[in-house]
Amino acid sequence: MDNQQLLALTEKYGSPLYVYDANIIESQYHRMVNAFSSVKSLNINYAVKANSNINILKVLKNLDAGVDCVSIQEVLLAIEAGFEVNKIFFTPSGISIEEMEKATALGVQITLDSLSVTQKFGEKHPNIPICLRINPHVMAGGNHKISVGHIDSKFGISIHQIEDVKKIISETGLKVIGIHMHTGSDIYNIEAFLTATEILLNTVKEFDTIEFVDFGSGFKVPYKEGDIETNIEEMGETLSKRFNDFCTEYGRDLTLIFEPGKFLVSAAGCLLVKVNVVKPTPNIVFIGVDSGLNHLLRPMMYDSYHHITNISNPEGKEKIYDIVGYICENDTFGSNRSISKISENDILCIHNAGAYSFSMASNYNSRYRPAEVMVYNGEDYLIRKRETFEDLLKNQVIIDL
């Protein structure tokens, strides 16, 4: 989508506005499938938490993707989007037994990530095959908050507890058909991923009933021109060969699974915001926009970089600005940015906002969450209405004082 198309969408739907290009999602999906085309059995399970709009899920369903869900609500969304239960993988952490039972009753693939839950599940459902999430104790990822495979992470069963797992299996008769790991997000170092891969495959050898191996995801995407990213084609070539060789060693063909979120949808999305105020100070020119951390939390939570452009004046002389939101916190989208001259009422585009953006939005400061639009094959579709004051009151119970 070019600048004029984006500006037309803000005229039609208002701002702030999330816009997603479904064709980019399709392109990224095919890119990943092609990178691992030499593997006999490959499943791509989209990480629903990245962007859970049901229309995004439908796009991926039509591509024959599966889904990775971390809550019973995501499972229900996937079913509502039309996914068959055998395409739904449930990979939660620290949930209640009651929630696990709800997912089990629906018939989705269950992943267990603690000894306690494995014991309880095995005692109650010894005949339901499960997957185990292990913690490979590998530090990888772009930020400590999204590095989830190191030794102090809450996620997964430690590789040093495999004997304990095997004891539980022996006692309960539980059948393990999958081994899973996820080391973190924004991983561009292929060597770190391959190190964790060897640990994962060594764990598979501890069981003789494995049918699939889930490598998680976390591939880094570029956030600006010239930015580093995971070379998915190189990783595909290297990892596919290792996986195929391992299948020969193991004695049967296994299914290779990835669960990408950001890789599939990040570049497909952008957040369009309107400039409320241009505010020069002795040191900084602040650009206040009609959005904030309530709509896009990633820069404040992860120190993540999102490229920002002025689509109302793309050819203007570049100046240095800080782009800030309207929330009563230091909600800075970008500091010390060189952007073409900005005037009040201009529309700015915050790029790479397709993943972990709207899905982390809130009503902080009693602000409304924005509308979402999907563009597919040149047509635009409203896929979520802008909230109103009635939405803020919808679930509040007003008592007579």
The residues annotated with a catalytic role in the active site are 328
Give the angle 93-99-104 at the CA atoms, nearest 5°: 100
φ/ψ (deg, to 5) at 315: -100, 5
Instruction: Name residue, tokens 């939005």.
Output: 361
User: Of the candidates 374, 349, 370, 350, which has an alpha carbon nearest to the alpha carbon of residue 360?
Assistant: 370
Q: Is 379 annotated as a binding residue?
A: no
Which amino acid is present at 196?
A: A
Tokens matching residue 182: 């996820």
Q: Is 218 annotated as a binding residue?
A: yes
**Angle separating helix axes 72-80 and 54-62, nearest 10 degrees:** 60
Positive or negative: CA dihedral 290, 295, 297, 303: negative
Q: Is 356 annotated as a binding residue?
A: yes
- CB-neighbour burial class of residue 208 (10 A; exposed 0-12, middle 13-18, buried 19+): exposed
Extended strands (E) in 247-294: 255-258, 269-280, 285-289
Q: Is 46 annotated as a binding residue?
A: no
User: Of the candidates 274, 250, 270, 260, which has an alpha carbon nearest to the alpha carbon of residue 352?
Assistant: 270
Residue 99, H or E segment? helix 97-106
Q: Is 378 annotated as a binding residue?
A: no
As a dihedral over the C-alpha atoms of residue 88, residue 94, residue 95, residue 98, rounded to 10 degrees, the angle is 110
Residue numbering of the annotated binding site for substrate: 298, 302, 329, 356
Binding-site residues for pyridoxal 5'-phosphate, in ranges, read 218, 356
Q: Please enumerate, by residue number, every residue annotated as part of a binding site.
A: 218, 298, 302, 329, 356
